Structure 1
Amino acid sequence: MKKRILTVLISIVTLVSMYAGGSQEKEASPLNLMQEGTLTIGVEIGYPPFEDFANDGVTPVGYDIDFAKALGEKLGLEIVFINTAWDGIFQGIGVNYDVVISAVTITEERKETMDFSTPYIDNYQAVVVRADSDRKVTKFQDLDGLALAVQKETTSDILISDYISTGSLNCTVAQNEKVITCFTQLDNKEIDAVVVDSTVADGQVGKYPGKYKIAYLDKSEAEQFGVALTKGNTALQSAINKAIDDLKKEGFFQENTEYWFGG
């Protein structure tokens, strides 16, 4: 889903979870971690419902946060989250943290510089409008002439930019650093629609059904999110894949999806 390079490290957020008797012993073979016994994770907090802060403004919460906690238990590792700006998050892999778990789309381009776990959730592109809107959207070209908002350097941003560059769309686009800014602009009627990941759209509509609705969902091609890690660290990749497989069998992802996306 999200893209780019050049890391801006914001802050080390918090120590979230410790191994509490997970079903898997520590790996006998070395996992090539930056710190023995600890999995450090790069996240962009501020991308609900995947990553956000609780009401205290400090504690990270969200779909990916719960997944990371479960992953740490399975691996028998302590978890540390490092809050990092999206623009450059991948450059920090192997430098500031071991992996990135932050709604990362698996792409062929990214596979050239990093490895991925097996996918843990599917995603599509969606158009969100205000709940009182009567606008009909059956394809992205129906957004022609409108004011849109996207998060900068995401799949949504790239998608709309491609439509504009090929002449399929003529519209104004606000490219924001944070996805939540897009929805604030929609609230303030500064824009007509937000183009965003369907998983994020589901979370916002589920949380604020009186404010937003999904006008269009493009299911023509699914994206898949995975854990991004240093290229060539096959030991850690295999351990994460095994943990994901176990979590799938146990129904963790189904329960986590129902909780954060309303089913």
Structure 2
Amino acid sequence: MKFGKKLLALTVVSVMSLSLISCGEKKDQSVLDKDKLILGFDDTFVPMGFKDSNGEYVGFDIDLAKAVSEKLNKEIEFQPIDWSMKETELKNGNIDFIWNGYSITDERKEKVEFSTPYLNNRQVIITLSDSKINTKADLKDKVVGAQNQSSAVDAIEADGDTITTFKDGKVVTFETNNEALMDLEAGRLDAVVADEILAKYYTKQRGAEKYKILSEDFGTEAYAVGMRKEDKDLVDAFNKAFNELVEDGTAGEISVKWFGEDIIAK
């Protein structure tokens, strides 16, 4: 009987030891050990990452990601996500990057580790060309829209009491910028606040004469790639790869392809 108890005790200890070793090995594993890295993005965000008429994922961020993947010698899978759930998707391990015109904010810094900034941006105010809105003050009592969980909303909320002057004292939010801009065209919104890079590309594609981008804005910011805080090795590898792409001119070429000029943050 005593022998049986001793044998049971030894078995339990052995199982626990193996579990601890297994946990230790898992803890020491790097995301860079994976052959494939998952990139989460909003597939409606032109010109950064979107689906073209052939159903292919294209855009500035898509091209830059492919160039970085070659430097890292890793395959990158492009995974469309609900942009309002981006940090949750990253935390849960469903994606390895948040990479799609992802603006650096203090709130986001608490949740993710940012890469080196790669583009600069403004949160601009877009109206129809015949609108009487010409300044930020003219947004008083107007219906203003923006993408849900976007840095546009953050920028508006950080701009003093401006939001309280909007109709109903709030921003009308949409799942995508495209939906917001379509409501602007339909007359259901008076203005949209969005990334300047998106705004210029969108209005150029649909007829710049139809729109007006105000000179006043809701502040400047920078785009970067978001990764998990514990994936320091991936952050370091990304930054090294990106810097090499800047130095060899590849990043600038991708910028010229999509924006007509080199606007890479340096």
User: What's the TM-score once normalised by structure 2's chain length?
Assistant: 0.77
Change (3 A) 1:128 1:257: farther
Root-mean-square deviation (Å): 2.4
Q: Distance in 1 between matches of 2:183 and 2:154?
A: 20
Alignment map for 1:193-204 (pairs within 5 Å): 193-204=191-202
Mapped to 2, the partners of 1:204 and 1:166 lie a distance apart of 26
Q: Which segments of 5 or more consecutive residues in structure 1 lack a partner in the other structure?
A: 1-29
**1:89 alignment partner in structure 2:** 86
Contact kept? 2:87, 2:111, Cα under 8 Å:
no
Aligned residue pair count: 230
Task: After TM superposition, give the deviation of residue 217 of structure 1 in Å.
Answer: 4.4
Aligned residue identity for 1:62: G
Query: Which residues of structure 2 form unaligned runs of 5+?
Result: 1-27, 262-266
- Any idea what the Cα deviations from partners look like across 1:29-63, whole Å, max 9, x if unmatched? x982287221211111111111211102x311111
Q: 3-state SS of the aligned residue for 1:88?
A: helix
Distance 2:87 2:242 in 1: 21
Q: Output the amino acid matched with 2:239.
A: N
Partner of 2:217: 218
Q: Distance in 1 between matches of 2:227 and 2:130?
A: 43
Q: Which residue does the alignment assign to 1:66?
A: 63
8 Å contact kept, 2:133–2:139: no
The structure-2 alpha-carbon separation of the partners of 1:76 and 1:195, relative to structure 1 and needing over 3 Å to count, comes to same
Higher helix share: 2
Find the structure with the greater CA-based Rg: 2
Change in Cα spacing, 1:255 to 1:132, as seen in structure 2 (3 Å) is farther
Partner of 2:5: none
Q: Distance in 1 between matches of 2:145 and 2:185?
A: 12
Relative to structure 1, the CA distance from residue 90 to residue 63 in structure 2 (aligned partners, 3 Å threshold; closer, same or farther) is same
TM-score scaled by length of structure 1: 0.78
Counterpart mapping for 1:148-187 below 5 A? 148-162=144-158, 169-171=165-167, 173-187=171-185
Give the match for residue 23 of structure 2. Answer: none
Q: 1:165 to 1:134 in 2, by over 3 A?
A: closer
Larger strand proportion, structure 1 or 2?
1
